[in-house]
Structure 1
Amino acid sequence: MRLHGLDIARFFAFCGMVLVNFRIAAEVTPGTDFASILTNGLEGRAAALFVILAGIGLTLTSTPKRVIAARAAVLFALGLANLTTFEADILHYYALYFLVALPFLAAPSRIFLWAVLGAAIVGLVGMILLDYEANWNWATLVYSNFWTPEGFLRHSFFNGWHPVFPWVSFVFLGMWVGRQELAQKQVQNRLILWGLAAALLAALPGQLVEDPELRELFGTVSIPPGPFYLIASSGSACVVIGAMLRLGNPLDRLGLAEWLAAPGRMALSLYVAHIILGMGTLEAMGQLDGSLTPEAIFGFSLGFCALSMLLTWIWNLISSRGPLEALMRRISEVFR
């Protein structure tokens, strides 16, 4: 049985990434308005939810490892192509996450939790011992030397937008969550309560230190991804997943579940579309120069999310899979 709640959570994760990425692309300066506060809160959280859901999907699928590896290769190629347009691409990271997680796929559930801890420690040690700011221009958020071996390895595994260490922790956590009885209300309640506790408690250490460097380490911002960011983002993701699973049946009875779940099943196609069509539209309008207000880019983002839902339903009259989902399936089926 497919759990609508997971697809709904995936669509909300996509919407959160749209809000964040459009603001980054349009170089909008955050303010103190509601739109800025909400988007600030989603930064790093929406992407983490997206990755945790990917980990859940890995444990719920019966797809052979070689097919998953082939799909990772397709994602990697799509991501590299996407990087030429949008430097904060996450698709090529997805491919690397899958390849790192693949050997653990049949492992006992407790191993996933040890892997979460291990990946987090590797990321923390790298942050302390290595130069996290190497190749970054923080004023423009441009990463130089990516297309060199050294730059690629640093960006992919250590100090990029979503580096493998520690971000693969989210995949392993999702794999652990996917092993739980997600259809049971007790499990859903635990995800909400424990997730809420983790998100709230993780925010405290950063408020207790005054040193700027320590505040980065103990804070919950996604760059750099410190341990308390991992805990806070994991907690908020578990809250959303648990809540959407709880609401799946009531929304289904109201006839709303499928409307929200369908775009979640086309998340890959919509992710690429929000860059090509969404950001492309902003560029054609000459709005990628910081001239938009936070409220304006917020409204544009929500409009794009609503349009994505409508276009998904129109597309579903033609096919049950999104165009990129169908293409990936066709390519990877060669290796089945």
Structure 2
Amino acid sequence: MQSRITALDALRGFALCGILVANVRPIANVDAELLNTAVGEAWPGYLVDQRFFPIFSLLFGVGFSLMLKTAAARTDRPRLVLLRRLLVLLAIGLLHMMLLWRGDILTIYAVVGLVVLLPSTWLPRWAVVVLAGVLLVAPLAFDMNGVVLVPALFLLGSLLTRYGVTERLDRITWWPATLVFAVLAVPAAWAQSNQVPAAFAVAGLLTAGAYVCGMLALLRTPLGRALQAVFAPLGRMALTNYLSATVLVLLIGWLLGGAPGTWSETTVLLIAAGILVVQRGFSGLWLRHFRYGPVEWLWRWATWLRRPSNAYSSPSSPRGLVQ
């Protein structure tokens, strides 16, 4: 039995918040050309867009390698367990894409996991470092961004686990790294505003790095307990919350009517904030009684091919364990 790393849950929940802000209009099926691009509201392009999906992708790689460790301790065929896990994620993503939103990211995560992440587990760490570097630099050299960066981010996340960084999160001083990423992100954002090739992707990665290191640093301050209370429940039920956000955005769009492309950034923020408040409340209540979110529980059942225990046996049962 392996203890959950609460900092990773908090980071995942934090990333989920930013992803929702970025996805409100796309989920509502808005044509990008119709978006409100007033100069005074251009800040999402520098603080949100392409800034949070790298965090989520990095954490997927981290979680994959942690899961491999757990599986290796429970079975002599751990990669088969991970293969099933990715195939089930692919099925969930395809259903999400076909029934709700064509912009689903789960299908991409599953395919990249099958093609890149799972095979990389047979490679030595140094080879994965080289492969991650190539997969990161190549898209940037051709001024590409978005999902083409996912393979590199998956591998980088996996390396954080394989090199033991995730086990030392609470012992690393994160402020210097936060400062470095933040300082480098400023000229990158300026280059982005001047449409310098690859600047959008580079600025996004650097800002994401500043967010990650800054959050990890803050988690070790007196604010840490409050930040964990807000974000960790969202992160522990990330899959459930990601899927339910699509339903809620579509419902709100239908209730509001009109063209979502005319929504101001304030409206988008209010929609995202309202959804996140509901999800945080539901996640907190659910996790008082259950170990896993509803979709996470089904995913785990399909992964291990046996029904996992979910409800706590007593009020004093531990609330932060991975079985």
The TM-score range, normalised by the shorter chain, is 0.7 to 0.9
1:269 to 1:189, Cα distance in 2 relative to 1, 3 A: same
Q: Which residue of 2 aligns with 1:171?
A: 154
Deviations 1:251-294 (A, max 9, x none): 57745523421111111110000101222232243245434322
* Aligned-partner Cα distance in 1 for 2:131–2:287: 38
Q: CA deviation at 1:21?
A: 0.7
1:303 to 1:275, Cα distance in 2 relative to 1, 3 A: same
Q: Which residue of 1 aligns with 2:102?
A: 87
1:39 to 1:305, Cα distance in 2 relative to 1, 3 A: farther
1:189 to 1:104, Cα distance in 2 relative to 1, 3 A: farther
* Aligned-partner Cα distance in 2 for 1:285–1:201: 39
Instruction: Establish whether residue 199 from structure 1 lines up as the match of residue 185 from structure 2.
Output: yes
Residues 45-54 or 3-12, more deviating: 3-12
Q: CA deviation at 1:330?
A: 0.1
Q: CA deviation at 1:107?
A: 4.0
Instruction: Establish whether residue 68 from structure 1 lines up as the match of residue 82 from structure 2.
Output: yes
Q: Which residue of 2 aligns with 1:219?
A: 199
Q: CA deviation at 1:197?
A: 4.6
* Aligned-partner Cα distance in 2 for 1:239–1:285: 35
* Aligned-partner Cα distance in 1 for 2:175–2:65: 21
Instruction: Establish whether residue 185 from structure 1 lines up as the match of residue 172 from structure 2.
Output: yes
Q: Which residue of 2 aligns with 1:45?
A: 51
Q: Which residue of 1 aligns with 2:135?
A: 119
CA RMSD of aligned residues (A): 2.9
1:174 to 1:234, Cα distance in 2 relative to 1, 3 A: farther
Q: 2:212 aligns with which of 213, 227, 241?
A: 241
Residues 283-292 or 13-22, more deviating: 283-292
Percent identical residues? 23
1:206 to 1:58, Cα distance in 2 relative to 1, 3 A: same
1:328 to 1:257, Cα distance in 2 relative to 1, 3 A: same
Q: Which residue of 2 aligns with 1:334?
A: 305
1:78 to 1:287, Cα distance in 2 relative to 1, 3 A: farther
SS of the residue 1:87 aligns to = coil
Q: CA deviation at 1:307?
A: 1.4
1:242 to 1:253, Cα distance in 2 relative to 1, 3 A: closer
Deviations 1:201-223 (A, max 9, x none): 54465567xxxxxx463321xxx
Whether the 8 Å contact between 2:26 and 2:103 is mirrored in structure 1 is no
Residues 3-12 or 249-258, more deviating: 249-258
Q: CA deviation at 1:54?
A: 1.0
1:15 to 1:273, Cα distance in 2 relative to 1, 3 A: same
Q: Which residue of 2 aligns with 1:22?
A: 24
Q: Which residue of 2 aligns with 1:8?
A: 10
Q: Which residue of 1 aligns with 2:315?
A: none
* Aligned-partner Cα distance in 2 for 1:219–1:235: 10
Q: CA deviation at 1:11?
A: 0.9
Q: CA deviation at 1:121?
A: 4.7
- Number of corresponding residues: 286
One-letter code aligned to 1:318: H
* Aligned-partner Cα distance in 2 for 1:39–1:11: 21
Q: CA deviation at 1:90?
A: 0.6
1:90 to 1:252, Cα distance in 2 relative to 1, 3 A: same
1:112 to 1:288, Cα distance in 2 relative to 1, 3 A: farther
Q: CA deviation at 1:42?
A: 0.8
1:295 to 1:205, Cα distance in 2 relative to 1, 3 A: closer
SS of the residue 2:289 aligns to = coil
Q: 2:232 aligns with which of 248, 257, 261?
A: 261
Whether the 8 Å contact between 1:20 and 1:43 is mirrored in structure 2 is yes
* Aligned-partner Cα distance in 1 for 2:184–2:89: 31
* Aligned-partner Cα distance in 2 for 1:59–1:329: 16
Whether the 8 Å contact between 2:13 and 2:238 is mirrored in structure 1 is yes
* Aligned-partner Cα distance in 1 for 2:282–2:258: 24
1:253 to 1:244, Cα distance in 2 relative to 1, 3 A: closer
SS of the residue 1:29 aligns to = coil
Deviations 1:285-331 (A, max 9, x none): 32454343221121111111111111111222332211110000000
Deviations 1:113-167 (A, max 9, x none): 3122221355457x58xxxxxxxxxxxxxxxxxxxxxxxxxxxxxx9x954x432
One-letter code aligned to 1:171: F
